[in-house]
Amino acid sequence: MEATRCVARHVHTGPLRILRSLYPEGDEICHNVLVHPPGGLVAGDTLDITVRVASGAHGLVTTPGATRFYRSDGALALQCTAITLDAGARMEWLPLEAICYSGCLAENRLTLNLAPSAELLGWDVTALGLPAAGKPFDTGKFCQHIEVPGVWLERAQIKALDALLMNSPLGLAGHRCMGTLFFIAGSKLERKRRQEALDKAREVIAAHPLCATAGATSPDGQVVVVRVLAPVVEPAMALLKQVWLAWRSHFWQQTASSPRIWST
């Protein structure tokens, strides 16, 4: 008998774990809430997250709160996520933002491996300091690494004391939140499908207050990307959520269904 329910199986060492698996869209899509009760990483901490989506399955993973990289005494704090999709699998990787506290030495590494016909929708959002709370990112270093081996690589080295990078119009231009939304396919996308995704993203961006600091591009035939800069997290996340929902409908004909944890 053909399976009709997508089921998450998980094991853990340490406090990081799946809190719950939910089915707000029915049995075919399994929503999962990934929880790290300590709430953050300090010097020397490493979080290893490994996800595999089997052929024909559709999983969504999010978090109930931000990942926090706290001040370091000199050792690196590392979060390393590796996601593998088998042929025909679908995955939505939608963690809330990573916050870099002043003085942190941190790296957030995401590696995506997709078999032919697999597809993934995901994002990566980083906040540098807490400017609204009067806690700027004055010292420290952060490395953001997103990779589809042999296809696409994004690697940013952020140093708080690099004034040109942090404040120049050719750098972050004073913004302290950067976000990237990506659609990755295991095979080359049809040109029409890829162009329509860009058009839909640009339509959302054009109507948004962050239109001057956001853009959509396709650096490879398997990748479509939206990037945004903002002073704080909330407007950047709002824009990415709009494009995510538009792409979800375009690529997969799935109606809007935000994870329940976002509204609690």
CA distance 229 to 179: 6
Q: What is the pLDDT of residue 62?
A: 95
Q: What is the pLDDT of residue 263?
A: 74
Q: What is the pLDDT of residue 128?
A: 97
Q: What is the mean pLDDT of residues 10-19?
A: 84
Q: What is the mean pLDDT of residues 201-222?
A: 97
At 137-147, the pLDDT tens digits run 999 999 999 99
Residue among 192, 72, 41 at smallest CA distance from 139: 72
Q: Three-class SS of residue 251?
A: helix
Question: What average pLDDT does the structure give for the chain?
Answer: 94
The CA-CA-CA angle for residues 74, 141, 120, to 5°, reads 120
Q: How confident is the model at residue 20 (pLDDT cuts 50, 70, 90)?
A: confident
**pLDDT at 2 > cutoff 80:** no
- In the structure encoding, which two tokens stand for residue 246, read together? 């538009």
Q: What is the mean pLDDT of residues 161-179?
A: 96
Q: What is the pLDDT of residue 1?
A: 32
Q: State the alpha helices, DSSP H only, in 3-111.
A: none
Q: What is the mean pLDDT of residues 243-249?
A: 96
At 71-81, the pLDDT tens digits run 998 899 999 99
- pLDDT higher at 255 or 115: 115
Q: What is the pLDDT of residue 55?
A: 96
Residue pair 188/148 in contact by the 8 Å Cβ criterion: no
Q: What share of the chain in percent tops pLDDT 90?
A: 83
Q: Is the dihedral of CA 157, 160, 164, 170 positive or negative?
A: positive
At 123-141, the pLDDT tens digits run 999 999 998 889 999 999 9
Q: State the alpha helices, DSSP H only, in the chain.
A: 163-167, 191-206, 233-252
At 36-92, the pLDDT tens digits run 888 789 999 999 999 999 999 999 999 999 999 999 988 999 999 999 999 999 999
**pLDDT at 226 > cutoff 80:** yes
pTM of the model: 0.94
Q: What is the pLDDT of residue 110?
A: 98
Integer CA distances (angstroms), 206 to 199, 210, 221, in order: 10, 8, 24
